[in-house]
Amino acid sequence: MYEEPQRSQQRPDRQDHGPLAGFTVGVTAARRADELGALLQRRGAAVSHAPALRIVPLADDSELLAATRQLLGETPDIVVATTAIGFRGWVEAADGWGLGGELLAMLQNVELLARGPKVKGAIRAQGLTEEWSPSSESMAEVLDRLLEEGVEGRRIAVQLHGEPLPGFVEALRVGGAKVVGVPVYRWMPPEDIGPVDRLLDATVARGLDAVTFTSALAATSLLGRAEDRGLLPELLAALHHDVLPACVGPVTALPLQARGIDTVQPERFRLGPLVQLLCQELPSRARTLPIAGHRVEIRGHAVLVDDQLRPVPPAGMSLLRALSRRPGWVVARAELLRALPGAGRDEHAVETAMARLRTALGAPKLIQTVVKRGYRLALDPAADAKYADV
């Protein structure tokens, strides 16, 4: 007998949302920013993109040409390829100089090491085969392998990728190797600094919930711009307490750690795991309260009311955060007024913002008006004891 499929028990107005819905994430990447932004948006995040750097190819640069000719004149024992874009750029530049065939022939006769799978793909696309690649995609593991094999008297070419490799070249030289750097491209400040300034302002104002970094130089660039504008103390305070700095790996995190900033990093140094880490970290940091019989989770620019996503205007979020710092307690209008950015001294602004907040939440009884005193969150009685001393 045919049975009609059961209908969903969800309320008809309930919205589907991803784990990052209600959060705003800053993206400082120049390369692969679209990919990272799409991954974040697919999981519900609002994305603020401000490339802290730009890539400048060195196809016509004399340093790259000189390094290539030097290696063709004296074949190295080992070549270390660090990035796919850099390896492709090197081959393309050599083609432009009429040296592409010679370069590929040279690379066929050396021990070719690839830092990770994307680099392996670029190597194989040229008809070459890598000798080895670390499972961790870490230059530290590449260095360990080389030093274990012994580098005394060996000639090693390292494809540089625009940002420092802390201790890598130095350790090889201390071990007795002759190292030739291959500078394929450089990182430069962005031509338009406006997006970076807007991202800095949003971070300092706690308008972002997280900022992602995929290169050490992007972190250095953002810190440097903050220092130029006199905002460095405010930026560091925001990253210390309210805005989560998420780095793709430990090398990327070094400039932030040098300033005393703790970061989160995925176990695998890739964009996908970085996004998955944010999907775990940001919801776990959101404030969740039992209010008027509802489960209320306060996120960056939205609130989940019984798992229904409710976007809230910035002024309303400011009021809600002020109320949630002392859940169940009456918060005076004067204190709420101070929480409203740019409200001046007009307490009527509190009433207007509060009315809009209640409308946005879709459950007016979440916030109670206490006549002549202020407002309070209608905390469930069972939770009163838990928050009595907050």
User: Residue 312 maps to which CATH number?
Assistant: 1.10.10.10
Q: What pLDDT band is residue 187 in, cutting at 50, 70 and 90?
A: confident
Q: Is residue 10 part of a domain?
A: no
Same domain for 281 and 291, yes or no, is no
Same domain for 79 and 149, yes or no, is yes
Q: What is the mean pLDDT of residues 31-52?
A: 92
Among the three residues 244, 265, 285, which one is the final residue of a domain in this structure? 285
Same domain for 226 and 316, yes or no, is no
Give the residue, 166 or 53, on which the prediction is more confident. 53
Among the three residues 244, 259, 285, which one is the final residue of a domain in this structure? 285
Same domain for 140 and 203, yes or no, is no
Say what the pLDDT of residue 10 is: 38
Q: Is residue 129 part of a domain?
A: yes
Same domain for 111 and 181, yes or no, is yes
Same domain for 223 and 74, yes or no, is no
- CATH code of residue 159: 3.40.50.10090
Q: Is residue 5 part of a domain?
A: no
Residue 347 has pLDDT above 80, yes or no: no
Q: What is the mean pLDDT of residues 324-350?
A: 84
Q: Is residue 11 part of a domain?
A: no
Same domain for 179 and 153, yes or no, is yes
Q: What pLDDT band is residue 8 in, cutting at 50, 70 and 90?
A: very low
Q: Is residue 321 part of a domain?
A: yes
C-alpha dihedral sign at 238, 239, 244, 245: positive
Same domain for 119 and 268, yes or no, is no
Over its C-alpha atoms, the chain yields an Rg (Å, rounded) of 27
Residue 3 has pLDDT above 60, yes or no: no
Same domain for 91 and 158, yes or no, is yes
Look at the chain and report how many structural domains it folds into: 3
Q: Is residue 315 part of a domain?
A: yes
Say what the pLDDT of residue 127 is: 95
In this prediction the pTM is 0.71
Q: Is residue 2 part of a domain?
A: no
Same domain for 372 and 291, yes or no, is yes
In tens, the pLDDT along 277-324 reads 999 999 999 999 999 989 999 999 999 999 899 999 999 999 999 999
Among the three residues 159, 187, 215, which one is the final residue of a domain in this structure? 187
Same domain for 146 and 202, yes or no, is no
In tens, the pLDDT along 292-301 reads 989 999 999 9
Same domain for 361 and 264, yes or no, is no
What is the residue range of 127's domain?
56-187
Q: Is residue 200 part of a domain?
A: yes
